[in-house]
Structure 1
Amino acid sequence: MRQKTANLLDRFTRSAGLSPKRVVKIYTLILFFAPLLYLVLLEIRATAAKETIFKFVASSPYMGVSLIVAACDFLLGYLCWLNSGELLENRRSYVRFMKLQLWSQLLVGNWVCLLFAVLGLRRQGDVASKQEQERSQIVSLAYVVFGLFAICFVFYLILVIKSMKG
């Protein structure tokens, strides 16, 4: 089963022409624009409810936590946009970044980014393996985002447990 899944992912990435550069480009666009669209959605919903966006977000702790996730995704997308070449220079940095993204996006339930992290990991062999001199800024930020997403996951669990208790 595991081998069949790996073969399916490999066939998909080859047929779609997903090189590591293209995966990072698509991933960056998703990380950058999805939070902006989420803010637009919140503004529309707040306007429909005849409230300010601040009151609307303050009314639900879930939205507050999801805004933290959106802000982290936006920041990560922005830095990926600026430093995508740096990310693709070294296989070790690329793999570390994609693994951190895989676990981070899994924690917060961002399935689209999770899928692209998996596809990026499947194409890691196409990235040059140079000797890494220093830690990449984008990988360091990915560690910070992973920590924040872990905290957000704990917040989600606390909110679910409180809602179950009544």
Structure 2
Amino acid sequence: MVSKINNFVISFLNRAHLDTKKILTTYIYALILIPLFFGSFIILTSSIAKQNINVVLNNTPLIAIDMIVALTDFIMGYYIWLKKDLILKHEGNYRFLMFTQAISQLMVGNIFCLILALFGIIRINEQTGKLKCQSSFIKVPAVIFLAIFGFCLVLTISIFIRK
């Protein structure tokens, strides 16, 4: 069953001509553009409601947590864009980044980025065996952002428990 799904995804990636570089580029665009659209939406809704953004964030703490997630995604997208060549140079860096990003995006519920990260993991696993992350310039920020997303998940769960 798993191999059939894996074969289906690999054939989809081959038909779509998605290699590791294109997947990473699409992932960068998603990490940068989704937070920009979310911020624009928050500004639009606050202007329609004729409220200050601080009032909106105080009234709905989940939006405040989502703003933290969006800002973190934007910073991570920009950082990955700057280090794109280093990530693509070593397959271990790519695998580690996509694995941590898959976990991070699963924690915050960003399904589109989760799917892209899983595509990246599947594509790199198809090519090579086990490799370790070569660069601390990739490892440290990925773990820091993973911790931030974990903190946001804990905040979200605590808000739902209080209700």
Q: Which portions of structure 1, spanning 4 or more consecutive aligned residues, are displaced by more than 6 angstroms?
A: 126-129
- Give the corresponding residue for 2:154: 154
- Report 1:63-78 matches (<5 A): 63-78=63-78
Gaps of 5+ in 1: none
Structure 1, residues 87-132: CA drift from partner, whole Å, max 9, x if none? 1111111111100001000001000000000000111157789x97
Q: 1:124 to 1:46 in 2, by over 3 A?
A: same
Q: Which moved more, 1:112-121 or 1:49-58?
A: 49-58
- Give the corresponding residue for 1:58: 58
Work out whether residues 92 and 133 of structure 2, in 8 Å CA contact, stay in contact via their aligned partners in 1: no
Number of equivalences: 162
The structural deviation recorded for 1:134 is 5.1
CA root-mean-square deviation: 1.9
The structural deviation recorded for 1:138 is 3.1
- Give the corresponding residue for 1:104: 104
In the superposition, the TM-score normalised over structure 2's length comes to 0.93
In the superposition, the TM-score normalised over structure 1's length comes to 0.91
Q: C-alpha distance in 2, partners of 1:119/1:22?
A: 11
Q: C-alpha distance in 2, partners of 1:133/1:146?
A: 16
Gaps of 5+ in 2: none
> % of aligned pairs identical?
28
Structure 1, residues 2-55: CA drift from partner, whole Å, max 9, x if none? 111111111111111110000000000000111011000000000011011222
Q: C-alpha distance in 1, partners of 2:58/2:23?
A: 36
Work out whether residues 65 and 155 of structure 2, in 8 Å CA contact, stay in contact via their aligned partners in 1: yes
Q: C-alpha distance in 2, partners of 1:64/1:127?
A: 40
